[in-house]
Structures are given as structure tokens and as C-alpha cells.
């Protein structure tokens, strides 16, 4: 149990260092890759996985804006209703 906890903590620390300079979508992809690897093999491959690559492509296309937002679209104006 302690060995597993130490391995997970070490992996999280390494991922924290590797995450420097990544966009929000790339980080989410990396987390998804890591979760998948942990659930299937019990190990973590620190290489770039397919979800991280997809997140990186989204970051490049959206100038680093998190998923669900666009960097060039302004927020909609508030609407008013008349009774």
C-alpha cells in the first residue's frame, strides 16, 4: 500500500513538473491518458499519449482557451424582457 502511494505521489510530482507551459486542454488530455494507463496497466507512461496530443492541437487552435470557450468570441450581452 505504501509503495503504491509513493509511486502515485512521485508520478503526480513528475506530471506537475512536465505540465509547465501546457494549455488547459493539453493538461486535461494528459490527465485522461494517465488515468487510462493507471486503470489498464497500473503504470504511467510519461510520454505524450493520444489524448494529450489532441488537447495540444485544441490549445493551438484556440490559442490556449479552455474547452467550451473561444478566445475571440465576446460574451453575449445581457437580455432584457418586457412584460
- 52 lies in some domain: yes
Per the domain annotation, does 46 fall within a domain? yes
Work out how many domains the chain is built from and give that number: 1
Per residue in 3-57, pLDDT tens? 776 566 666 665 555 555 788 889 999 999 999 999 998 888 878 899 999 999 9
* Euclidean distance between the first and the last CA atom of the chain, given in angstroms as a whole number: 64
Q: Is 1 among the domain residues? A: no
Q: Is residue 78 included in any domain, yes or no?
A: no
Instruction: Give the DSSP H/E element, type plus range, for residue 31.
Output: helix 24-40
Would residue 17 count as lying in a domain?
no
In a domain, residue 79? The reply is no
User: For residue 40, what are the domain limits?
Assistant: 23-64
18: in domain: no
pLDDT value at residue 21: 72
b/e sequence 27-56, b meaning 16+ C-beta within 10 Å = bbbbebbbeebeeeeeebeeeebebbebbb
- Of 50, 48, 38, the residue nearest 12 (C-alpha): 38
**Domain-embedded: residue 60:** yes
> Residue 21: which residues within 8 A CB-CB, separation 6 or more?
none
Residue matched to cell numbers 453575449: 76
Amino acid at each position: 500500500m505504501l509503495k503504491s502511494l509513493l509511486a502515485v505521489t512521485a508520478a503526480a510530482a513528475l506530471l506537475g513538473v512536465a505540465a509547465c507551459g501546457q494549455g488547459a486542454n493539453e493538461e486535461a488530455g494528459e490527465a485522461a491518458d494517465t488515468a487510462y494507463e493507471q486503470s489498464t496497466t497500473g503504470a504511467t507512461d510519461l510520454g505524450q499519449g493520444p489524448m494529450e496530443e489532441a488537447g495540444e492541437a485544441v490549445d493551438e487552435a484556440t490559442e490556449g482557451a479552455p474547452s467550451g470557450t473561444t478566445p475571440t468570441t465576446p460574451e453575449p450581452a445581457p437580455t432584457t424582457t418586457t412584460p
